[in-house]
Amino acid sequence: MNRDSSAVREELLRLREQTEIQATALDGDLRSLFEASRSSNADDEHDPEGSTIAFERAQLTAVLDATRRRLAELDVALRRVDDGSYGVCERCARPIPAERLVARPSARTCVACASRR
């Protein structure tokens, strides 16, 4: 692994750690919401004060799912750094522009191939 790939690996590990912390916090929030809804007999469907517990639960679940997907994508990116294929498009084998990798470190395709989906 060269110095450049070492720096990329460090950045991906930093992003993964941040994402893991976020996933843990979201999971805790979701568990708290489940506990609160179990111990409450409030009629949240007709609460004029705001969103329902069901809506909050669905929203938290969606964000947690997206965060877990990002973790998985970062794990794949780390494996690609290790095997030397990071930064190479999986479809056309051309280099993925650095700007795309900065914006989306787990990108597996170049902009042209991603836009063809």
Instruction: Tell whether 57 and 27 lie within a shared domain.
Output: yes
38: amino acid identity, one letter: R
Give the residue with greater pLDDT, 27 vs 35. 27
Q: Give residue 102's pLDDT.
A: 93
- What is the domain range of residue 16? 1-85
Cα-based torsion angle of the residue sequence 38, 54, 67, 115 in order, rounded to the nearest 10 degrees: 160
16/48 same-domain check:
yes
3-state helix, strand, coil in the chain (%, to 5): 70, 0, 30
- Mark whether 42 and 98 lie in a shared domain: no
Amino acid making up residue 7: A
pLDDT in tens, 71-108: 999 999 999 999 999 999 999 999 999 999 999 999 99
Predicted TM-score (pTM) of the model is 0.81
pLDDT for 43 beyond 70: no
- pLDDT of residue 29 exceeding 80, the answer is yes
Judgement on whether residues 1 and 13 belong to the same structural domain of the protein: yes
